[in-house]
């Protein structure tokens, strides 16, 4: 078991907490503060236990000097001050005398936020390439390192792997909770276990398919990726999205798992992917040459429902249609309704799928909506996660 923040005596210690404050900001105002709220538990715990709390995070991608204005963490410090009801001192530097002096002045329970770690990327990508000296320097600013940034757990950056390599460390509550909830999908999941996969591309999901296909009873395939499978199964898919170089992979796993992989039987098509376009409901052997499939049809929903109704575990990644456009939202919306009316343990992961769950207001009815996006997929793919592996064992 990995150590957590609870395994340390924090009193009087400088505790560096790596958070995920990568929030959408427009003209200095935060558009979605759910990531800030998700970080409060760990910060509050550290304060309650008399730590000097030093917060770090990345924000966006910093490639030019101008990006610095767009991606400063200053608005985050201001909003956090309100959420914590405690002034968060913001230092607009990622290193140097001003930062070190501000830290040396900290009292117990004080909170300080360091500027966006990716400002260091302007100088040879030091943060993103885990520059050894940068990790060591940041570690020198604290006594204990807590990783609560689940969203970057699959990355090897100076601000996670680098600091953890140089300090006693542990997980924060958010990261610990994500791992616990996602582990229920990989370690002896309750059966029957059905996975729904969608999204644009097969190639994005091959790792998840390979790692979960033997654990799950069924994989229901929708979204753009269904068409590469349908093509592999011999159907004419018109002008639907298709990855030619993945057809042979799809054919292979369809042959190997003929009863496990469930493909759509009807499709909503249109000649263009846009609002107010004329749509058609087609069986999969009726798709016309100039049409593309943009959502799963009502008969497919009935079939999928049969595979979901009695499940004990359901994992879903990838919208089954172009849910951003009203004409093609029905499949994704109805499936959210179906899974939330089962008794199953339900997990939704992936940036766009989580967004769909929130857009259609199902987030509170799902057992777990992962905050992680790419990180949750990497976790389920079973790929090595260096920023997690480095965390000390109990
Ligand atoms: P996630 O971020 O949850 O992992 P993806 O990024 O893999 O999901 O896929 C999401 C995108 O897939 C959405 O933007 C959606 O519009 C698109 N998509 C879904 N169905 C289709 C389709 N039939 N054709 C083209 N794109 C699709
Ligand atoms: Mg996506």
CATH number for the domain spanning 352: value is: 3.40.50.1260
For the chain, give the mean pLDDT: 96
154 CA to centre of ligand 1 in angstroms: 22
Q: Which of 129, 145, 174 is the last residue of a domain?
A: 174
Instruction: Work out the pLDDT band at 377, boundaries 50, 70, 90.
Output: confident
- 76 and 196 share one domain: no
pLDDT above 90 (res 336): yes
The answer to whether 158 touches 30, Cβ cutoff 8 Å, is no
- 21 and 121 share one domain: yes
CA distances from 274 to 17, 72, 237, 243, 298 (A): 44, 35, 19, 21, 20
88 CA to centre of ligand 2 in angstroms: 33
- 22 and 81 share one domain: yes
Is 41 a domain residue? yes
- 146 and 195 share one domain: no
- In the set 41, 181, 201, 299, the catalytic residue is 201
**Window from 37-41, 79-83, 157-161, 203-207 with minimum mean pLDDT:** 203-207
The answer to whether 150 touches 20, Cβ cutoff 8 Å, is yes
Domain that holds residue 274: 181-381
Nearest to 39 by CA among 1, 73, 3: 73
- Does the Cβ of 10 fall within 6 Å of ligand 1? no
- Does the Cβ of 291 fall within 6 Å of ligand 1? no
- 185 and 113 share one domain: no
What average pLDDT score do residues 319-329 get? 98
CA distances from 293 to 140, 230, 273, 316, 336 (A): 55, 11, 9, 20, 20
pLDDT above 90 (res 257): yes
Give me 155's structure tokens. 């990355």
- 125 and 19 share one domain: yes
Is 392 a domain residue? no
- Ligand (nearest to CA of 227): 1
Is 265 a domain residue? yes
Is 390 a domain residue? no
The answer to whether 186 touches 210, Cβ cutoff 8 Å, is no
Q: Tens digits of per-residue pLDDT, 86-137? A: 999 999 999 999 999 999 999 999 999 999 999 999 999 999 999 999 999 9
| Ion ligand 2 residue ranges (Cβ < 5 Å) | 351-352
- 57 and 195 share one domain: no
131 CA to centre of own chain:
25
pLDDT above 90 (res 383): no
Is 371 a domain residue? yes
- 338 and 261 share one domain: yes
Distance CA 336, CA 303 (A): 15
Q: Which of 117, 147, 174 is the last residue of a domain?
A: 174
The answer to whether 208 touches 316, Cβ cutoff 8 Å, is no
Is 388 a domain residue? no
Give me 203's structure tokens. 């190639």
- Does the Cβ of 204 fall within 6 Å of ligand 1? yes
- Where in 100-235 does DSSP place strands (E)? 111-114, 144-147, 169-171, 193-197, 218-221
Torsion from C-alpha of 260, 265, 270, 276, nearest 10 degrees: -90
Pairing of strands 266-270, 280-283: antiparallel
Number of domains forming the structure of the chain: 2
- Does the Cβ of 179 fall within 6 Å of ligand 1? no
Phi-psi bin for 85: left (phi > 0), alpha (psi -120 to 50), beta? left
Torsion from C-alpha of 179, 350, 359, 202, nearest 10 degrees: -150
- 316 and 296 share one domain: yes
DSSP state of 325: S
- 207 and 108 share one domain: no
- Does the Cβ of 293 fall within 6 Å of ligand 1? yes
Is 386 a domain residue? no
Q: Which of 174, 207, 224 is the last residue of a domain?
A: 174
- 134 and 241 share one domain: no
Q: In this structure, which residue's CA is closest to atom 22 in ligand 1?
A: 224
318 CA to centre of ligand 2 in angstroms: 7
Nearest to 49 by CA among 59, 41, 58, 57: 41
355 CA to centre of ligand 2 in angstroms: 9
- Does the Cβ of 264 fall within 6 Å of ligand 1? no
């Amino acid at each position: 078991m990995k150590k957590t923040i609870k395994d340390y005596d924090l009193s009087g210690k400088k505790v560096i907490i790596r958070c995920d404050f990568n929030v959408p900001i427009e003209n200095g105002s935060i558009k979605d503060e759910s990531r800030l709220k998700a970080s409060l538990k760990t910060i509050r715990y550290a304060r309650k236990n008399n730590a000097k709390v030093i917060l770090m995070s990345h924000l966006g991608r910093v490639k030019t000097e101008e990006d610095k204005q767009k991606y400063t963490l200053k608005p985050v410090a201001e909003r956090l001050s309100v959420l914590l009801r405690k002034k968060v001192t913001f230092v607009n530097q990622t290193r140097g005398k001003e930062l070190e002096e501000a830290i040396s002045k900290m009292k117990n329970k004080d909170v300080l936020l360091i500027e966006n770690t990716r400002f260091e990327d302007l100088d040879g990508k030091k943060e993103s390439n885990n520059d050894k000296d940068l990790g060591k320097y940041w570690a020198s600013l604290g006594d204990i390192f807590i990783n609560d940034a689940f969203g970057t757990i699959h990355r090897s950056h100076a601000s996670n792997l680098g600091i953890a390599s140089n300090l006693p460390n542990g997980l924060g509550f958010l990261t610990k909770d994500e791992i616990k909830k996602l582990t229920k999908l990989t370690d002896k999941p309750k059966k029957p276990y059905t996975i729904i996969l969608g999204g644009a591309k097969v190639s994005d999901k091959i790792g998840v398919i390979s790692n979960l296909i033997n654990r799950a009873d069924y994989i229901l395939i929708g979204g753009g990726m269904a068409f590469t499978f349908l093509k592999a199964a011999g159907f004419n898919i018109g002008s639907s999205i298709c990855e030619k170089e993945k057809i042979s992979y799809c054919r292979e796993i369809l042959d190997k798992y003929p009863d496990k992989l469930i493909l759509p039987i009807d499709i909503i098509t249109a000649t263009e992917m846009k609002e107010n376009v004329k749509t058609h409901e087609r069986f999969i052997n009726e798709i016309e040459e100039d049409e593309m499939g943009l959502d799963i049809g009502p008969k497919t929903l009935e079939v999928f429902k049969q595979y979901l109704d009695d499940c004990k575990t359901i994992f879903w990644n990838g919208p089954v249609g172009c849910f951003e456009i009203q004409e093609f939202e029905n499949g994704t919306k109805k499936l959210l309704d179906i899974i939330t009316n089962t008794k199953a343990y339900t997990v939704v992961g992936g940036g766009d799928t989580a967004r769909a769950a929130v857009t259609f207001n199902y987030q509170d009815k799902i057992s777990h909506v992962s905050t992680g996006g790419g990180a949750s997929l990497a976790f389920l793919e079973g790929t090595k996660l260096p920023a997690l592996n480095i965390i000390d064992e109990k």
